[in-house]
């Protein structure tokens, strides 16, 4: 497992979780965006747990779109 990639993915997951909190504050208006980001967060967590560099790289690319 690439430790630098793991660190980048972990940081990106944290940032996206903060964005989810902002969407939650919007109430119903933020539900769609929150759900889309949360789907990517779940995939990122699975990729991180797997330790697969290609899967983590894909997840990192998807999560970069949430900011």
Q: What is the pLDDT of residue 1?
A: 76
Which pLDDT score, from 0 to 100, does residue 65 have? 83
The DSSP secondary-structure symbol of 27 reads G
Q: Which two tokens stand for residue 49?
A: 């747990």
pLDDT of residue 66: 83
Radius of gyration of the chain (CA): 12
Spatial CA neighbour of 55 closest among 5, 18, 16 = 5
> How does pLDDT run across 19-61, given as a tens digit for each residue?
999 999 999 999 999 999 999 999 999 999 999 999 999 999 9
């Amino acid at each position: 497992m690439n430790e630098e990639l793991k660190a980048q993915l972990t940081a990106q997951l944290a940032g996206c979780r903060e964005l989810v909190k902002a969407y939650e504050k919007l109430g119903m208006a933020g539900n769609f965006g929150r759900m889309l980001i949360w789907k990517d967060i779940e995939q990122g967590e699975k990729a991180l747990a797997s330790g697969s560099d290609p899967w983590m790289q894909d997840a990192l690319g998807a999560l970069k779109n949430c900011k």
